[in-house]
Structure 1
Amino acid sequence: MSDPAALGQFLQARRAERTPAAAGLPAWGRRRTPGLRREELAALAGVSIDYLTRLEQGRHAQPSPDVLSALASALGLTDAARAHLFLLAGRPDPGPVVLARDDVPGPVRRLVERADPFPAWVLNRRRDLLVWNEGATALLGDLAAMDAEQRNQLRLVFTTPAARALWADWPLVAQDTVAQLRAVTGPAGADPEVAALVADLSAASPEFAELWARHDVAPACSPLRAAHHPEAGELRFDLGLFDAAGGDLQVVVAEPHDDATQSRWTAFMRGRLEAGRLHAL
């Protein structure tokens, strides 16, 4: 149950403790108190001064979770203080925004390298491909030659004709990929880069827009993938997904599902290796 009066008092107290320097603002002009001015907090949280005034005066009940999250961030609240803010507002706390990381620890990189000749790669929460091995290049294409923006699982699946041709079960791949994005990124729009990705894909792909509107959530994908590889032929892989770096990263390893795939893929990768050696000579 919300307590608008206590919520207002809490916001005023935390604003009085938050210095401009701590909030990343220049401390221009003379101040009667060391804390943030009301207009400064409103600007940092992306709300109007009138709205913040009504909140602090206890004249507005149950602000939205997005507003509460923005206020918690602007005020630099600890986890405990953030939880108390949501409690006073009578709202469940969706948790702080977790932005996608772009660095991959050495042990995770080495795990991907050791998976060769089987394809392996690392995804962040935004589903960017950060690290991959030679097997992944052979399966997914020359990832190193792509622009960093295009090197994203969602963009590859929905905007790259080669990916649509590769996966024999493309509709299932598309469905899984969208559901996984929802599972690992939390509320839509929480991460501005994820929001931009969703907006781009919704405009570029009607299939993506339709799947995104379904709000399916799945932390893992269907384990079996069937592929029509242009050189290696018909392949079936078992996908293993492993969380790393506290869940900020996900390692994907594709292993042959059957003897036929094992034989075709091993021969194909051996041929690539020999061709590379001959080219080097």
Structure 2
Amino acid sequence: MSTGDRQQRETTRDRRRAELREFLRSRREKLTPAAVGLPEAGRRRTPGLRREEVAVLAGVGVSWYTWLEQGRDIKVSDEVLDAVARALLLDETERAHLYRLAGLNPPQRQAAPSVPASPPLQRLLATWAPRPAYIRDRHWNFTAVNDAARVVFGYGDTDHNCLVSFFTNARFRVLHQQWDRIAPEVAAGFRADAARYPEDPEFDRLARDLTLVSPEFAELWARHDAAEHTTAIKAVEHPVAGTMIFEATLFPLPEFPGHHLVLHNPVADTGTGTRLDELMHARPGGVTPTMN
């Protein structure tokens, strides 16, 4: 490691420790004894809880907690950080922040069950028209699809899962110019997502069922490739509009862990935007989207 790299690492570590110190102090000072079930002990010179009280609530030594809040170079474990997070009544986002400031990877957030898109998300999909957009849950089930996505990508009423549709929807396959090239990436992306939830049997069920009806998926799944993609290019040969090329971007929905919003934008200088507008305006009702 070069001297410059070492200095940069030390600078980053010092900045992280300073953030840890201020974060813990600010969370401690926001709490009152009553908020954590402690008796009031007369007038306090400083707001919030004392370090000693946090240590007692977390079940750690006073000196150790003091060193942690001072940002000293001490070893920490997941269990102890969780105890501190509970003592300070941190929410899930604050708990993850504490982990990162302490130099640890935060625990995987518990995936939310599949839920219908909320009204604000429904409005977002509607506003995104005439560009395609949809929301999928952790198993790649559609929870909302705007009309443009159905028209452009060939999704029908029987399409309920993004992965299953990719490998079994004949119309979808015909429309996608680069299906053969994209298929390995799709299978690898689903395997990477499955690894995030090793205790969820639904991933295995979906993969097992799909291997029985799609030889292509069975072959790709047997490779055990894994990959993560936040953007992708989708080229569609639409029977009415002709060639359209989109850039798809996946946005995680923090309020619904495991769910993603997928937005499609026409690629510049391909004529896609014009063809898309003409296609959607030519439909009955124009570009007014329908949501499912």
TM range (shorter): 0.5 to 0.7
Q: Partner of 2:206 in structure 1?
A: 197
Out of 207, 210, 221, the position equivalent to 1:212 is: 221
Mapped pair 1:173 → 2:148: no
- The 8 Å contact of residues 121 and 136 in structure 1, kept in 2 or not, is answered as yes
Query: Residues 115-130 of structure 1 correspond to what in structure 2 (within 5 A)?
Result: 115-130=128-143
Provide the C-alpha distance between the structure 2 equivalents of 1:275 and 1:105, rounded to a whole number of angstroms: 24
Provide the C-alpha distance between the structure 1 equivalents of 2:232 and 2:261, rounded to a whole number of angstroms: 14
Out of 258, 266, 272, the position equivalent to 1:261 is: 272
Mapped pair 1:250 → 2:263: no
Q: 1:261 and 1:95, CA in 2 relative to 1: closer, same or farther beyond 3 A?
A: closer
Q: Partner of 1:162 in structure 2?
A: 171
- The 8 Å contact of residues 230 and 249 in structure 2, kept in 1 or not, is answered as no
Q: Partner of 2:151 in structure 1?
A: 138
Out of 274, 283, 287, the position equivalent to 1:272 is: 283
Please state whether the residue corresponding to 1:127 is helix, strand or coil.
Answer: coil
Shift of 1:188: 7.7
Provide the C-alpha distance between the structure 1 equivalents of 2:225 and 2:112, rounded to a whole number of angstroms: 21
1:224-272 deviation line (CA, Å, top 9, x unaligned) = 2111112111111111111113542111111110341111111111101
Out of 103, 106, 128, the position equivalent to 2:116 is: 103
Shift of 1:95: 6.0
Please state whether the residue corresponding to 1:226 is helix, strand or coil.
Answer: strand
Shift of 1:99: 6.4
Provide the C-alpha distance between the structure 2 equivalents of 1:276 and 1:117, rounded to a whole number of angstroms: 6
Query: Residues 74-93 of structure 1 correspond to what in structure 2 (within 5 A)?
Result: none
Mean CA deviation greater in 197-206 or 106-115:
106-115
1:41-96 deviation line (CA, Å, top 9, x unaligned) = xxxxxxxxxxxxxxxxxxxxxxxxxxxxxxxxxxxxxx969xxxxxxxxxxxx968
1:89-110 deviation line (CA, Å, top 9, x unaligned) = xxxxx96874652333332222
Q: Partner of 2:14 in structure 1?
A: none
Please state whether the residue corresponding to 1:240 is helix, strand or coil.
Answer: strand
Q: 1:187 and 1:122, CA in 2 relative to 1: closer, same or farther beyond 3 A?
A: closer
Q: 1:188 and 1:200, CA in 2 relative to 1: closer, same or farther beyond 3 A?
A: farther
Structure 1: gaps spanning 5 or more residues: 1-78, 82-93
What RMSD in Å do the two structures reach over aligned CA positions?
A: 2.9
Give the counterpart letter for 2:132 in structure 1.
P
Q: TM-score, normalised by structure 1?
A: 0.58
Shift of 1:219: 2.4
Shift of 1:172: 2.9
Provide the C-alpha distance between the structure 2 equivalents of 1:197 and 1:228, rounded to a whole number of angstroms: 28
Please state whether the residue corresponding to 1:223 is helix, strand or coil.
Answer: strand
Provide the C-alpha distance between the structure 2 equivalents of 1:253 and 1:171, rounded to a whole number of angstroms: 22
- The 8 Å contact of residues 180 and 221 in structure 1, kept in 2 or not, is answered as no
Provide the C-alpha distance between the structure 2 equivalents of 1:221 and 1:228, rounded to a whole number of angstroms: 23
Give the counterpart letter for 1:254 in structure 2.
H
Structure 2: gaps spanning 5 or more residues: 1-80, 84-106
Give the counterpart letter for 2:217 in structure 1.
F
1:161-205 deviation line (CA, Å, top 9, x unaligned) = 111101101023322221221222326863222211111111111
Q: 1:276 and 1:266, CA in 2 relative to 1: closer, same or farther beyond 3 A?
A: closer
Give the counterpart letter for 1:263 in structure 2.
T
Mean CA deviation greater in 215-224 or 157-166:
215-224
- The 8 Å contact of residues 189 and 195 in structure 1, kept in 2 or not, is answered as no
Provide the C-alpha distance between the structure 1 equivalents of 2:112 and 2:205, rounded to a whole number of angstroms: 13
Q: TM-score, normalised by structure 2?
A: 0.56
Provide the C-alpha distance between the structure 1 equivalents of 2:177 and 2:189, rounded to a whole number of angstroms: 20
